[in-house]
Structure 1
């Protein structure tokens, strides 16, 4: 009797599962929530593994590109980035049989993202939970497997592309050598860390022809003369920080985005959890995508397009940083104006000129303005997870302007670094907008 009941139960379960698999599964993934959740997990791991802002920009970019390449396979109204990005060769993919493309895009994102970080298990666990949820919602087993296989095939091509960008070779390049030249950057307290990524200008950009394509004007000529322009710029930083309003402090903290912030209590030194500038703007891109009610394809396009602009922005910015090698306000002010002065924000461990946030923010804002136009209201909750309040903006460019001036309020940049950095970011972003096409006639890269 027990055997008969067990058999009946098994048949009922099999029939129920078969019915579940045969249901219309196409509407399981319609928006970009799954990819945005994957990006948030990647952000958590970037913070956990303490990647620098330039390296973080690389980690965001390649997975986003992989997801978008699946979009280009799924919908001929989107244009593949293969053949558009430097060194990104065209390739045919096997799309025979029934494919659930939203799942394939997610598989591509997770596969590449996992290859970019140290704590692979954290991303892998997140992927498995997402895939289990999608599978339970009714994607047929064969379709599921075929879709994941396609996504991983696209991912393999993107990973091979990433391996040729000179990143791995640069891990063995010599470290930055601190000099005693009066104008030059010196490590700053409390950690006195060495200069981060001095050879980032040797990384292959996605769209720029070369790292110095939009080279900024040099910084003001260094001087300790109290009547010199350089001294006046240092005084501006000094006085600004001494007289900050609450609003200016809030702005500085909101855009701090320093993953190297170190706290010291007695003899104990520990890092504070913070997002990178690129991570903040990828968060804004995700917020904009949801606000615009984009589908999964539009979301993938937004994240890929924004990440490309940020990646190239850091290459261009770091090229200037280690060319000019300029001293930070904290070092100069302590030596020539007030040895007790402290900036509001902790000084990041790399040269001053130009401001990384100014370059990256303006490049990203130009990319997002192309996609969404202006005005575009932004309810920026990116920093809520890190203990900071929401800020609101009427456009991406308005947000970028605030991000740039925050570096003066924080006491970590002279004004020319902010002005020239913003100009560089805008020019770079506009150049990328002219060079990259994600919509239009698309030659589907499929096997016949």
Structure 2
């Protein structure tokens, strides 16, 4: 395990003097490798986890990224805490000494959040413990931090993580709600094949956002009026999807599979997919640890808050899924979508919402970076290349059309929503563009 997960901290860390070793390393190029190690383990834990709605993972990435960033920022001159800009987050613990290893603090903060979110499956705990121990060992034996500094960093990281965990419990996601009874009507969502499952996360739109006001004025507008009349806009919209499904190209099928992201033991969710893309950028661009952490926090917060806006709209409009409309009104009772239709209403498209939220943040911090996405190389899917983050987000949205689970106007509405939420988040965080 250690061979797979130990970071390669930059050589200059070994040469740091006793005076500067407490401030320099996380600001130096290449030190973002600690975060890529943890993201890799995070994605592995998702594959080991069952029984959660896809959208539930939004919280895992958001709160973990906040804890990670806040554990590093006191030791990063020129960088600022975002705690005061987050809704109801006050009085984070302060380090008890300045003579600590901040990288160790980030290491233990991430580990603590992983134990909190993923300890339900006992096979996850040794994975988390192994990485945390390996990183600590390297900080002492390779980077030449004192054991006392690493231990002090671990203690601070654990304390800060617990404060973030306590705060996370106030967002309403664990509230007990009455059983959800979907409204009925020709235009409204009904359970979809093959599982015909109950609607997923119907109250998610009531959760408290991480940034106050981040979803103000972002609710998707009312969708196209429902109709079963031939030549009506709604009928034509559905017929376009049906026609496309009959002639999918190999590339369109590959696109749909690459962005499936269902948490089914094979894929890593949309949140994990974009964390993987960021991880690849950290390596490609040789980012520092604090810069990597700032981008990670901004992206994860934006995706979390965008998920709340998206789910609020989904259960406001309760729009019928393509598979239900095509079976009922287009004379194809056995038709099914190319990828499995998720168990929640159609409008707006979540993948488009979340992907545009992520891409907007990444573009803000990193610009238009061409890249090849290798997220699913290990499950046999071919990598896919993009000219920019927005190009990737556009494909992520369009993949749901070719997958047969979203109409095109829903994808457009999601893109608008995700972009708007991200812009609100970026303004509120007010981090430097080079953070």
- Give the alignment's TM-score, normalised by structure 1: 0.86
Deviation per CA, 1:279-305: give whole Å up to 9, x if none: 111111111122110122122112111
Structure 1 residue 272, shift from structure 2 partner: 5.4
* Contact 1:326/1:352 (<8 A) preserved: yes
Deviation per CA, 1:243-284: give whole Å up to 9, x if none: 21111111111111122xxxxxxxxxxx55222111111111
Structure 2 CA distance for aligned equivalents of residues 440 and 371 of structure 1? 5
Deviation per CA, 1:342-395: give whole Å up to 9, x if none: 211110110000000010000110000011012x01221112233311111111
SS state at 2:46 partner: helix
2:228 is aligned to: 224
Q: Which runs of 4+ in 1 moved over 6 A?
A: 21-25
* Contact 1:257/1:276 (<8 A) preserved: yes
Deviation per CA, 1:304-331: give whole Å up to 9, x if none: 1111111011001000000000110000
* Contact 1:78/1:440 (<8 A) preserved: no
SS state at 1:342 partner: coil
SS state at 1:49 partner: coil
2:228 paired with 1:248: no
SS state at 2:372 partner: strand
Q: Identify which range, 46-55 or 217-226, moves more after superposition.
A: 46-55
Instruction: Pick closer, same or farther for the CA change 1:257–1:288 going to 2, 3 Å.
Output: same
Structure 1 residue 217, shift from structure 2 partner: 1.3
SS state at 1:379 partner: strand
Instruction: Pick closer, same or farther for the CA change 1:22–1:355 going to 2, 3 Å.
Output: closer
Unaligned runs of 5+ residues in structure 1 are 1-20, 260-270, 443-448
Write the mapping of 1:14-413 to structure 2, written as runs, cut at 5 A: 31-50=31-50, 51-119=52-120, 121-137=122-138, 138=141, 139-169=145-175, 172-209=176-213, 211=215, 213-259=217-263, 273-337=266-330, 338-374=332-368, 376-413=369-406
Structure 2 CA distance for aligned equivalents of residues 195 and 59 of structure 1? 21
Structure 1 CA distance for aligned equivalents of residues 359 and 137 of structure 2? 39
Instruction: Pick closer, same or farther for the CA change 1:315–1:135 going to 2, 3 Å.
Output: closer
1:268 is aligned to: none
Structure 1 residue 441, shift from structure 2 partner: 13
SS state at 1:167 partner: coil
Q: Identify which range, 333-342 or 429-438, moves more after superposition.
A: 429-438
Instruction: Pick closer, same or farther for the CA change 1:120–1:81 going to 2, 3 Å.
Output: farther
Structure 1 CA distance for aligned equivalents of residues 156 and 204 of structure 2? 32
Instruction: Pick closer, same or farther for the CA change 1:421–1:441 going to 2, 3 Å.
Output: closer
SS state at 1:181 partner: coil
Structure 2 CA distance for aligned equivalents of residues 278 and 77 of structure 1? 29
Instruction: Pick closer, same or farther for the CA change 1:49–1:120 going to 2, 3 Å.
Output: closer
Aligned length in residues: 408
Deviation per CA, 1:81-135: give whole Å up to 9, x if none: 1110111114350241521111111111111222123436444323332343344
Structure 1 residue 165, shift from structure 2 partner: 0.9
* Contact 2:359/2:393 (<8 A) preserved: yes
Structure 2 CA distance for aligned equivalents of residues 134 and 361 of structure 1? 31
Q: Identify which range, 306-315 or 71-80, moves more after superposition.
A: 71-80
* Contact 1:257/1:275 (<8 A) preserved: yes
Instruction: Pick closer, same or farther for the CA change 1:213–1:48 going to 2, 3 Å.
Output: farther
SS state at 1:168 partner: coil
Structure 2 CA distance for aligned equivalents of residues 308 and 91 of structure 1? 18
Deviation per CA, 1:186-233: give whole Å up to 9, x if none: 111111111110001111111252656301111111111112111111
Structure 2 CA distance for aligned equivalents of residues 441 and 36 of structure 1? 19
* Contact 1:286/1:303 (<8 A) preserved: no
* Contact 1:201/1:211 (<8 A) preserved: no
Deviation per CA, 1:43-94: give whole Å up to 9, x if none: 2222322332221010111111111002211113211111101111143502
1:18 is aligned to: none
Kindly name which structure, 1 or 2, has the bigger radius of gyration based on alpha carbons: 1
What do you get for the CA RMSD once the two structures are aligned?
2.4
Instruction: Pick closer, same or farther for the CA change 1:413–1:368 going to 2, 3 Å.
Output: same
Structure 2 CA distance for aligned equivalents of residues 193 and 428 of structure 1? 29
* Contact 1:369/1:396 (<8 A) preserved: yes
Instruction: Pick closer, same or farther for the CA change 1:307–1:276 going to 2, 3 Å.
Output: same
Structure 2 CA distance for aligned equivalents of residues 175 and 414 of structure 1? 29
SS state at 1:71 partner: helix
